[in-house]
Amino acid sequence: MRCLEGLFLKALVFQHVVLFLSHTSEGQFWGAGPSQTISALVGDDVILPCRLESAADVFYKSVEWGRPDLEPRFVHVWHEGRDFLSNQNPSYKGRTSVSIEKLRRGDLSLSLSAVKHSDNGIYRCYFPPLSKEYNIKLVVGSVSSAVVTGVKLNSTVVVVQCKSKGWYPEPEVLWLDSEGNLLPDGSTETLRGPDDLYTVSSRVTVEKTNRDSFTCRVQQSTINQIRDIHIQIPELTHFNEDKESTVQKDLLLQDIKNNERDRVVNTLKEQRKIQDMLETQRKNLEEQRKKLVSFIEELKAQENQMGTNIIETEKKLEAAKKVAEQDKGKGNFELMDIILEAKKQLQARKHKDSELITGVWILLNETDKLHQNLKTKISPEERSDDPNQKKTESPECDEKGK
């Protein structure tokens, strides 16, 4: 009867627990609104948000992240207190994780590092205990600077052409005057390469004025990215071929300066990102070191306790032996009590050892993830998808082998 009452109470509790998509998350991405779409740039780390409405502890439950369009479909699986990655799709190896602390609060969010174009798709967050799921769309984009590819001048009109390649998703091109007003639509050509990246080229023709300053803007609204190039046309009272050539050279130098500036800025951003990542990894490793020290101290304490228990058991056995010499029945009862007490102590020790082994496995998994993230961030050429690199067995495979 008590068992049925317990099941009924659990059913009432779980009936009010529903999954919902968090509209806030950590990491650098855009568009995590009601459309349930998350956008990022190639190389970013993102979090795909998914959590329980109530802060239930799901550490010992199962959580499945997958992509139905892949085979195998599994992106990351958590099962009864540990990662279960034996069937993980190889393209995600070493790049996914769930937070133990968040799982204890009912947060099932998936961390995905160093995203790439092949990560584009629909992700399924599935929680088997409630048979609930949510689909989240991830869009991984690419951007590139715009460059001036041609300028033609005469006494009345200016023809300017700009180009940008390496975009995803497909961008659009806008032209603005010196005051930021949109110019009439220019002629734009869009090409999609074998790598699925887009190249756009646009040309606009406008009347020449006293303020010959234009902006070619390439933008992509889904990933919220804009790249501008500003074009300054010097005032020409008398147009000739020599001056057109000079304008072309000035624009080329301006373009080179812009590209070099962008390269330096991007390099500094990447270096800062790596430094922040290394600092985070250092803190995580320090925390794991403290946990390992705690495990070692607990093992030492158990060892000392076991020694004390052995001495006490030996004394009790000696006393029971003396009692048995005088009263055999009473001596047997005392001996049985000693055996039962020793059995209880051994069972308690076994339980403690099991907890310690579970904790060590979790730390090993976390350390392996940190190691993989470091390899992914700092040495891309050493990633695990390198066919010449020796593959290591996962903890699941090792445990099954044992």
pLDDT above 60 (res 13): no
Q: What is the pLDDT of residue 255?
A: 62
pLDDT band for position 24 (cuts 50, 70, 90): very low
Is 151 found in the same domain as 137? no
Half-sphere exposure of 4 (CA within 13 A, CB side): 1
Mean pLDDT to the nearest integer, 169-181: 90
Q: Which residue has the higher pLDDT, 402 or 274?
A: 274
Four-point Cα dihedral 104, 105, 106, 109, nearest 10 = -90
Mean pLDDT to the nearest integer, 359-364: 76
**Domain contains 257:** no
pLDDT band for position 246 (cuts 50, 70, 90): low
Is 277 found in the same domain as 235? no
Is 372 found in the same domain as 277? yes
Q: What is the pLDDT of residue 147?
A: 87
Domain end residue (candidates: 239, 256, 291): 239
pLDDT above 80 (res 143): yes
pLDDT above 90 (res 231): no
Residue 388: partners with Cβ closer than 8 Å, 6 or more residues away? none
**What share of the chain in percent tops pLDDT 70?**
75
Is 286 found in the same domain as 209? no
Q: Which residue has the higher pLDDT, 242 or 372?
A: 372
Is 136 found in the same domain as 44? yes
**Domain contains 337:** yes
Q: How many domains is the chain partitioned into structurally?
A: 3
Mean pLDDT to the nearest integer, 219-227: 93
List pLDDT tens digits, range 256-284. Answer: 676 677 778 778 878 887 888 788 778 87
Domain end residue (candidates: 78, 112, 141): 141
Is 384 found in the same domain as 278? yes
Is 356 found in the same domain as 312? yes
Mean pLDDT to the nearest integer, 174-194: 87
pLDDT above 90 (res 225): yes
Q: What is the pLDDT of residue 207?
A: 78
Q: What is the pLDDT of residue 117?
A: 93
Q: What is the pLDDT of residue 381?
A: 43
Give me the CATH number covering residue 229. Answer: 2.60.40.10
Q: Which residue has the higher pLDDT, 116 or 27?
A: 116
**Domain contains 280:** yes
Mean pLDDT to the nearest integer, 206-217: 77
Domain end residue (candidates: 192, 221, 239): 239
pLDDT band for position 168 (cuts 50, 70, 90): very high
pLDDT above 90 (res 167): yes
Q: What is the pLDDT of residue 251?
A: 60
**Domain contains 1:** no
Is 392 found in the same domain as 275? yes
pLDDT above 90 (res 192): yes
**Domain contains 155:** yes
Q: What is the pLDDT of residue 253?
A: 67
Is 159 found in the same domain as 101? no
pLDDT above 50 (res 387): no
Is 278 found in the same domain as 310? yes
pLDDT, mean over the chain? 76
Measured N-to-C along each axis, helices 241-326 and 328-378 cross at an angle, to the nearest 10 degrees, of 170
Mean pLDDT to the nearest integer, 341-348: 77
Is 121 found in the same domain as 51? yes
Q: What is the pLDDT of residue 100?
A: 92
Q: Which residue has the higher pLDDT, 155 or 305?
A: 305
Mean pLDDT to the nearest integer, 17-38: 40
Q: What is the pLDDT of residue 200?
A: 94
Residue 161: partners with Cβ closer than 8 Å, 6 or more residues away? 148, 149, 150, 151, 201, 202, 203, 204
Q: What is the pLDDT of residue 21?
A: 34
Q: What is the pLDDT of residue 118?
A: 93
Q: Which residue has the higher pLDDT, 165 or 269?
A: 165
Lowest mean pLDDT across 44-48, 245-249, 251-255, 364-368: 245-249
**Domain contains 81:** yes
Q: Which residue has the higher pLDDT, 7 or 51?
A: 51
d(CA 311, CA 296): 23
**Domain contains 249:** no
**Domain contains 255:** no
Q: What is the pLDDT of residue 374?
A: 67
pLDDT above 80 (res 399): no
Is 126 found in the same domain as 162? no
Domain that holds residue 206: 147-239
Q: What is the pLDDT of residue 312?
A: 79
List pLDDT tens digits, range 315-334. Answer: 777 777 777 777 777 667 77
Mean pLDDT to the nearest integer, 59-63: 92
